[in-house]
Structure 1
Amino acid sequence: MYLCGFSLNNLSLMALTIATGFVVDDAIVVLENISAIWRRG
């Protein structure tokens, strides 16, 4: 990591940001599917 110029803190922050993005994206997909099922009745 030293050769790339990243510290462990920066790498951890990027990983947390990406993980949060995945969780939010999955939640949006689930809500869209629930909405589509409700519309179909």
Structure 2
Amino acid sequence: MNEMEQIKWGIEELSKQIARLHDLVVKQDRELQAIKSLLKQSR
């Protein structure tokens, strides 16, 4: 594998990890919103 191929592979791996992180953040944000609305209802 030459240097260009290694760089391309590295970028692909990074973008996969970023996509996974983004999904996690979105899920956590939804959970936070759900918790907030539950707290508002219980008051």
The answer for unaligned runs of 5 or more in structure 2 is 2-7
TM-score after normalising by structure 2? 0.75
Task: Answer with 1 or 2: which has the greater Rg.
Answer: 2
TM-score of the superposed pair, with normalisation by structure 1: 0.78
Aligned length: 37
**What is the aligned-residue RMSD (CA, Å)?**
1.7
Q: Which runs of 5+ in 1 are unaligned?
A: none
Q: Which runs of 4+ in 1 moved over 2 A?
A: none
More helix by share: 2
Which structure has more relative contact order (CA 8 Å, sep 6+)? It is 1
